[in-house]
A = this chain, B = another copy of it.
Amino acid sequence: MAKSAKISASHEPGGLIVHISGLLPSLSPAEQRVARLVVSDPAAAARRTITDLATAAETSEATVIRFCRSVGMDGYPQLRIRLAAEAARRIEPPDARVVGGDIPPGADLAQIIATIAFNDARAVEETAEQLDPAVCEQVVEAISGAGRIDIYGAGASGFVASDFQQKLHRIGRIAFYFPDVHTALTSAALLGRGDVAIGISHTGTTSDVIEVLEQARTRGAATVALTNFPRSPITDVADFVLTTAARETTYRSGATASRLAQLTVVDCLFVGVAARNRARARKALEATAEAVQSHRVGANRRRA
Protein backbone atom coordinates (compact mmCIF):
# COMPACT_ATOMS: atom_id res chain seq x y z
CA MET A 1 0.00 0.00 0.00
CA ALA A 2 2.69 2.42 1.01
CA LYS A 3 4.43 2.01 -2.29
CA SER A 4 1.54 2.90 -4.52
CA ALA A 5 0.28 5.61 -2.26
CA LYS A 6 3.02 8.00 -3.24
CA ILE A 7 2.34 7.55 -6.94
CA SER A 8 -1.27 8.59 -6.69
CA ALA A 9 -0.24 12.19 -6.32
CA SER A 10 1.02 12.42 -9.88
CA HIS A 11 -1.81 13.51 -12.08
CA GLU A 12 -1.01 12.14 -15.47
CA PRO A 13 -2.79 14.23 -18.10
CA GLY A 14 -0.78 13.23 -21.12
CA GLY A 15 0.21 9.70 -21.89
CA LEU A 16 -1.50 7.27 -19.64
CA ILE A 17 0.08 4.38 -21.48
CA VAL A 18 3.50 5.88 -21.11
CA HIS A 19 2.82 6.47 -17.48
CA ILE A 20 1.84 2.88 -16.95
CA SER A 21 4.81 1.42 -18.71
CA GLY A 22 6.98 3.75 -16.69
CA LEU A 23 5.91 2.34 -13.40
CA LEU A 24 5.51 -1.19 -14.66
CA PRO A 25 8.59 -2.48 -12.83
CA SER A 26 7.29 -1.09 -9.58
CA LEU A 27 4.16 -3.17 -9.78
CA SER A 28 3.60 -6.55 -8.28
CA PRO A 29 3.84 -9.58 -10.59
CA ALA A 30 0.12 -10.04 -10.99
CA GLU A 31 -0.40 -6.35 -11.63
CA GLN A 32 2.39 -6.42 -14.17
CA ARG A 33 0.54 -9.02 -16.14
CA VAL A 34 -2.44 -6.72 -16.22
CA ALA A 35 -0.29 -3.74 -17.13
CA ARG A 36 1.32 -5.53 -20.01
CA LEU A 37 -2.04 -6.43 -21.47
CA VAL A 38 -3.19 -2.88 -21.17
CA VAL A 39 -0.10 -1.36 -22.66
CA SER A 40 0.10 -3.74 -25.56
CA ASP A 41 -3.44 -3.04 -26.70
CA PRO A 42 -5.21 -0.21 -24.89
CA ALA A 43 -8.17 -0.20 -27.26
CA ALA A 44 -8.85 -3.87 -26.71
CA ALA A 45 -8.50 -3.46 -22.98
CA ALA A 46 -11.00 -0.65 -23.02
CA ARG A 47 -13.53 -2.98 -24.56
CA ARG A 48 -13.13 -5.66 -21.91
CA THR A 49 -15.00 -6.00 -18.72
CA ILE A 50 -13.02 -6.23 -15.53
CA THR A 51 -13.70 -9.93 -15.19
CA ASP A 52 -12.60 -10.48 -18.74
CA LEU A 53 -9.39 -8.60 -18.27
CA ALA A 54 -8.69 -10.38 -15.01
CA THR A 55 -9.12 -13.73 -16.67
CA ALA A 56 -6.91 -12.73 -19.56
CA ALA A 57 -4.22 -11.68 -17.12
CA GLU A 58 -4.71 -14.89 -15.19
CA THR A 59 -5.54 -13.10 -12.02
CA SER A 60 -8.53 -11.93 -10.04
CA GLU A 61 -10.69 -8.85 -10.40
CA ALA A 62 -9.30 -7.63 -7.15
CA THR A 63 -5.86 -7.38 -8.66
CA VAL A 64 -7.16 -5.43 -11.58
CA ILE A 65 -8.69 -2.95 -9.22
CA ARG A 66 -5.45 -2.72 -7.33
CA PHE A 67 -3.74 -2.07 -10.60
CA CYS A 68 -6.14 0.74 -11.36
CA ARG A 69 -5.36 2.37 -8.05
CA SER A 70 -1.66 1.83 -8.56
CA VAL A 71 -1.66 3.84 -11.74
CA GLY A 72 -3.71 6.60 -10.21
CA MET A 73 -7.23 5.83 -11.33
CA ASP A 74 -10.29 5.72 -9.14
CA GLY A 75 -11.53 2.44 -10.42
CA TYR A 76 -11.91 0.26 -13.43
CA PRO A 77 -14.55 2.23 -15.34
CA GLN A 78 -12.38 5.32 -15.17
CA LEU A 79 -9.41 3.40 -16.50
CA ARG A 80 -11.50 2.04 -19.31
CA ILE A 81 -12.59 5.45 -20.39
CA ARG A 82 -9.12 6.88 -20.23
CA LEU A 83 -7.84 4.00 -22.28
CA ALA A 84 -10.51 4.47 -24.91
CA ALA A 85 -9.67 8.13 -25.16
CA GLU A 86 -5.98 7.41 -25.32
CA ALA A 87 -6.38 4.80 -28.01
CA ALA A 88 -8.51 7.12 -30.09
CA ARG A 89 -5.91 9.83 -29.96
CA ARG A 90 -3.27 7.45 -31.16
CA ILE A 91 -4.84 6.98 -34.53
CA GLU A 92 -2.67 8.79 -36.97
CA PRO A 93 -4.22 11.57 -38.99
CA PRO A 94 -5.67 10.49 -42.32
CA ASP A 95 -2.69 10.18 -44.63
CA ALA A 96 -1.40 13.08 -46.62
CA ARG A 97 -4.33 14.84 -48.08
CA VAL A 98 -3.54 16.65 -51.24
CA VAL A 99 -4.12 20.22 -50.30
CA GLY A 100 -5.78 22.05 -53.13
CA GLY A 101 -4.27 19.43 -55.30
CA ASP A 102 -5.54 17.24 -57.98
CA ILE A 103 -7.12 13.92 -57.42
CA PRO A 104 -4.83 11.13 -58.53
CA PRO A 105 -6.21 9.02 -61.40
CA GLY A 106 -6.12 5.83 -59.41
CA ALA A 107 -7.89 7.23 -56.38
CA ASP A 108 -10.73 5.28 -54.92
CA LEU A 109 -13.91 6.95 -53.86
CA ALA A 110 -12.98 7.15 -50.21
CA GLN A 111 -9.89 9.15 -51.11
CA ILE A 112 -11.86 11.35 -53.41
CA ILE A 113 -14.35 12.09 -50.68
CA ALA A 114 -11.65 12.91 -48.19
CA THR A 115 -9.87 15.21 -50.58
CA ILE A 116 -12.94 17.06 -51.65
CA ALA A 117 -14.25 17.51 -48.17
CA PHE A 118 -10.92 18.72 -46.98
CA ASN A 119 -10.67 21.32 -49.66
CA ASP A 120 -14.25 22.39 -49.27
CA ALA A 121 -13.94 22.80 -45.54
CA ARG A 122 -10.71 24.68 -45.96
CA ALA A 123 -12.27 27.08 -48.40
CA VAL A 124 -14.99 27.89 -45.91
CA GLU A 125 -12.60 28.34 -43.02
CA GLU A 126 -10.10 30.41 -44.90
CA THR A 127 -12.78 32.58 -46.35
CA ALA A 128 -14.05 33.39 -42.91
CA GLU A 129 -10.56 34.14 -41.70
CA GLN A 130 -9.82 36.69 -44.32
CA LEU A 131 -13.23 38.30 -44.37
CA ASP A 132 -13.03 41.85 -43.14
CA PRO A 133 -15.67 42.30 -40.45
CA ALA A 134 -15.57 46.05 -40.94
CA VAL A 135 -16.50 45.78 -44.59
CA CYS A 136 -19.14 43.21 -43.76
CA GLU A 137 -20.55 45.55 -41.18
CA GLN A 138 -20.86 48.31 -43.73
CA VAL A 139 -22.49 46.01 -46.22
CA VAL A 140 -24.89 44.76 -43.59
CA GLU A 141 -25.74 48.30 -42.71
CA ALA A 142 -26.31 49.22 -46.32
CA ILE A 143 -28.56 46.23 -46.84
CA SER A 144 -30.46 46.87 -43.64
CA GLY A 145 -31.21 50.41 -44.66
CA ALA A 146 -31.74 49.75 -48.34
CA GLY A 147 -34.93 50.55 -50.12
CA ARG A 148 -34.26 47.79 -52.57
CA ILE A 149 -31.58 45.21 -53.08
CA ASP A 150 -30.57 43.85 -56.47
CA ILE A 151 -28.39 40.79 -56.67
CA TYR A 152 -26.57 39.76 -59.81
CA GLY A 153 -24.73 36.62 -60.70
CA ALA A 154 -24.29 34.39 -63.71
CA GLY A 155 -23.91 30.66 -64.02
CA ALA A 156 -22.78 29.04 -60.85
CA SER A 157 -22.67 32.35 -59.02
CA GLY A 158 -26.23 32.96 -60.10
CA PHE A 159 -27.08 30.15 -57.89
CA VAL A 160 -25.61 31.91 -54.92
CA ALA A 161 -27.21 35.18 -55.92
CA SER A 162 -30.56 33.49 -56.00
CA ASP A 163 -29.96 31.94 -52.63
CA PHE A 164 -29.12 35.31 -51.17
CA GLN A 165 -32.21 36.83 -52.68
CA GLN A 166 -34.40 34.16 -51.14
CA LYS A 167 -32.82 34.57 -47.76
CA LEU A 168 -33.30 38.30 -47.69
CA HIS A 169 -36.79 37.96 -48.97
CA ARG A 170 -37.59 35.56 -46.18
CA ILE A 171 -36.75 38.12 -43.57
CA GLY A 172 -38.80 40.75 -45.24
CA ARG A 173 -36.20 42.69 -47.21
CA ILE A 174 -37.06 43.73 -50.72
CA ALA A 175 -34.55 41.84 -52.80
CA PHE A 176 -34.38 40.77 -56.43
CA TYR A 177 -32.37 38.37 -58.50
CA PHE A 178 -32.32 38.27 -62.27
CA PRO A 179 -31.21 35.24 -64.19
CA ASP A 180 -31.16 37.26 -67.34
CA VAL A 181 -28.84 40.13 -68.23
CA HIS A 182 -31.35 42.34 -69.90
CA THR A 183 -33.83 42.25 -67.09
CA ALA A 184 -30.99 42.88 -64.70
CA LEU A 185 -29.81 45.89 -66.64
CA THR A 186 -33.30 47.30 -66.71
CA SER A 187 -33.61 46.85 -63.00
CA ALA A 188 -30.22 48.37 -62.32
CA ALA A 189 -31.20 51.44 -64.27
CA LEU A 190 -34.05 51.94 -61.85
CA LEU A 191 -31.91 51.88 -58.75
CA GLY A 192 -31.00 55.05 -56.92
CA ARG A 193 -29.36 56.42 -53.82
CA GLY A 194 -30.18 54.29 -50.81
CA ASP A 195 -30.46 51.12 -52.85
CA VAL A 196 -27.91 48.34 -52.90
CA ALA A 197 -26.57 46.29 -55.78
CA ILE A 198 -24.61 43.12 -55.19
CA GLY A 199 -22.57 41.42 -57.88
CA ILE A 200 -21.31 37.91 -57.46
CA SER A 201 -18.60 36.48 -59.66
CA HIS A 202 -16.02 33.94 -58.66
CA THR A 203 -13.47 35.04 -61.20
CA GLY A 204 -14.49 38.65 -61.03
CA THR A 205 -14.37 38.81 -64.77
CA THR A 206 -17.91 38.00 -65.76
CA SER A 207 -18.71 40.87 -68.08
CA ASP A 208 -22.46 40.64 -67.65
CA VAL A 209 -22.28 41.06 -63.93
CA ILE A 210 -19.71 43.83 -64.10
CA GLU A 211 -21.75 45.72 -66.60
CA VAL A 212 -24.88 45.57 -64.53
CA LEU A 213 -23.06 46.52 -61.37
CA GLU A 214 -21.56 49.50 -63.13
CA GLN A 215 -24.96 50.61 -64.29
CA ALA A 216 -26.25 50.39 -60.74
CA ARG A 217 -23.36 52.43 -59.52
CA THR A 218 -23.87 55.28 -61.92
CA ARG A 219 -27.46 55.43 -60.72
CA GLY A 220 -26.24 56.06 -57.22
CA ALA A 221 -26.75 52.69 -55.63
CA ALA A 222 -24.16 51.29 -53.23
CA THR A 223 -22.37 48.46 -55.01
CA VAL A 224 -20.96 45.31 -53.47
CA ALA A 225 -18.76 42.76 -55.18
CA LEU A 226 -18.27 39.19 -54.02
CA THR A 227 -15.37 37.52 -55.75
CA ASN A 228 -12.42 35.30 -55.15
CA PHE A 229 -9.94 37.71 -56.68
CA PRO A 230 -9.46 41.03 -54.96
CA ARG A 231 -7.85 42.59 -57.98
CA SER A 232 -10.27 41.46 -60.59
CA PRO A 233 -12.20 43.88 -62.80
CA ILE A 234 -15.40 43.61 -60.81
CA THR A 235 -13.75 45.33 -57.87
CA ASP A 236 -13.38 48.47 -59.95
CA VAL A 237 -17.08 49.03 -60.00
CA ALA A 238 -17.72 48.13 -56.39
CA ASP A 239 -17.88 50.34 -53.32
CA PHE A 240 -17.42 47.34 -51.10
CA VAL A 241 -15.43 44.28 -51.96
CA LEU A 242 -15.87 40.98 -50.20
CA THR A 243 -13.60 38.13 -51.11
CA THR A 244 -13.78 34.39 -50.85
CA ALA A 245 -10.70 32.24 -50.42
CA ALA A 246 -11.10 29.16 -52.54
CA ARG A 247 -7.80 27.87 -53.78
CA GLU A 248 -9.08 25.59 -56.43
CA THR A 249 -7.90 26.80 -59.75
CA THR A 250 -8.84 23.86 -61.82
CA TYR A 251 -12.32 22.82 -62.72
CA ARG A 252 -11.63 19.36 -61.45
CA SER A 253 -13.59 19.29 -58.27
CA GLY A 254 -16.18 21.45 -59.86
CA ALA A 255 -16.40 25.00 -58.73
CA THR A 256 -17.90 23.66 -55.58
CA ALA A 257 -15.34 24.95 -53.11
CA SER A 258 -15.78 28.47 -54.37
CA ARG A 259 -19.52 28.08 -54.26
CA LEU A 260 -19.40 26.96 -50.68
CA ALA A 261 -17.21 29.91 -49.81
CA GLN A 262 -19.62 32.28 -51.46
CA LEU A 263 -22.55 30.76 -49.66
CA THR A 264 -20.75 31.15 -46.39
CA VAL A 265 -20.21 34.84 -46.99
CA VAL A 266 -23.81 35.24 -47.99
CA ASP A 267 -24.86 33.46 -44.85
CA CYS A 268 -22.77 35.77 -42.73
CA LEU A 269 -24.31 38.82 -44.31
CA PHE A 270 -27.74 37.34 -43.95
CA VAL A 271 -27.35 36.56 -40.30
CA GLY A 272 -25.83 39.98 -39.80
CA VAL A 273 -28.86 41.62 -41.32
CA ALA A 274 -31.24 39.37 -39.44
CA ALA A 275 -29.47 40.12 -36.19
CA ARG A 276 -30.16 43.81 -36.69
CA ASN A 277 -33.78 43.20 -36.15
CA ARG A 278 -34.23 39.92 -34.42
CA ALA A 279 -37.89 40.23 -33.67
CA ARG A 280 -38.93 41.08 -37.16
CA ALA A 281 -36.64 38.56 -38.79
CA ARG A 282 -37.73 35.80 -36.50
CA LYS A 283 -41.34 36.51 -37.14
CA ALA A 284 -40.84 36.49 -40.88
CA LEU A 285 -38.87 33.26 -40.72
CA GLU A 286 -41.49 31.55 -38.64
CA ALA A 287 -44.19 32.61 -41.04
CA THR A 288 -42.32 31.25 -44.03
CA ALA A 289 -41.46 28.06 -42.23
CA GLU A 290 -45.09 27.57 -41.41
CA ALA A 291 -46.03 28.09 -45.02
CA VAL A 292 -44.14 25.04 -46.19
CA GLN A 293 -45.39 22.87 -43.35
CA SER A 294 -48.25 21.53 -45.40
CA HIS A 295 -45.72 20.09 -47.80
CA ARG A 296 -44.08 18.09 -45.10
CA VAL A 297 -44.95 14.53 -44.49
CA GLY A 298 -45.11 12.67 -41.17
CA ALA A 299 -42.18 12.77 -38.80
CA ASN A 300 -39.21 10.50 -38.68
CA ARG A 301 -39.71 6.90 -37.86
CA ARG A 302 -38.87 5.71 -34.41
CA ARG A 303 -37.35 2.29 -34.34
CA ALA A 304 -34.93 0.68 -36.70
Contacts and interface: CB of A to CB of B under 8 A. Distances in A.
A206 B295 contact: yes
Q: How large is the interface on A (under 10, 10 to 19, 20 to 34, 35 or more residues)?
A: 35 or more
Given A301-B26, A302-B26, A120 B267 contact: yes
15 contacts: A46-B81, A46-B85, A82-B84, A113-B136, A116-B267, A117-B264, A117-B268, A121-B121, A154-B295, A206-B295, A208-B295, A231-B304, A256-B263, A256-B267, A263-B263
A214 to B, nearest CB: 11
Chain A contact residues: over half helix, strand or loop, or mixed? helix
A277 to B, nearest CB: 12
A252 B271 contact: yes
Interface in A199-256: 203-208, 210, 229, 231-233, 251-254, 256
Contacts of A163: 156, 159, 259
Given A167-B254, A295-B206, A268 B300 contact: no
Among A110, A278, A285, residue most surrounded by chain B Cβ atoms (within 10 Å): A110
A147 interface: no
Contacts of A232: 300-301
Contact of A109 (B47, B107, B124, B133): B133
Among A46, A208, A264, residue most surrounded by chain B Cβ atoms (within 10 Å): A264
Interface in A275-300: 275, 278, 285, 289, 292, 295-300
Given A120-B124, A121-B121, A298 B254 contact: no
Given A88-B89, A109-B272, A254-B270, A120 B264 contact: yes
A298 B117 contact: no
A275 B125 contact: no
Interface string A3-29: 000000000000000000000011110
B113 A233 contact: no
A85 B91 CA distance: 11
Contact of A295 (B112, B207, B233, B298): B207
A297 B260 contact: no
A235 B85 CA distance: 34
A73 interface: no
A95 interface: no
Given A267-B256, A271-B112, A289-B251, A299 B205 contact: yes
**Complex A-B, nearest 6 residue pairs according to Cβ-Cβ distance, in ascending order:** A117-B128, A26-B300, A85-B88, A256-B267, A110-B133, A81-B84
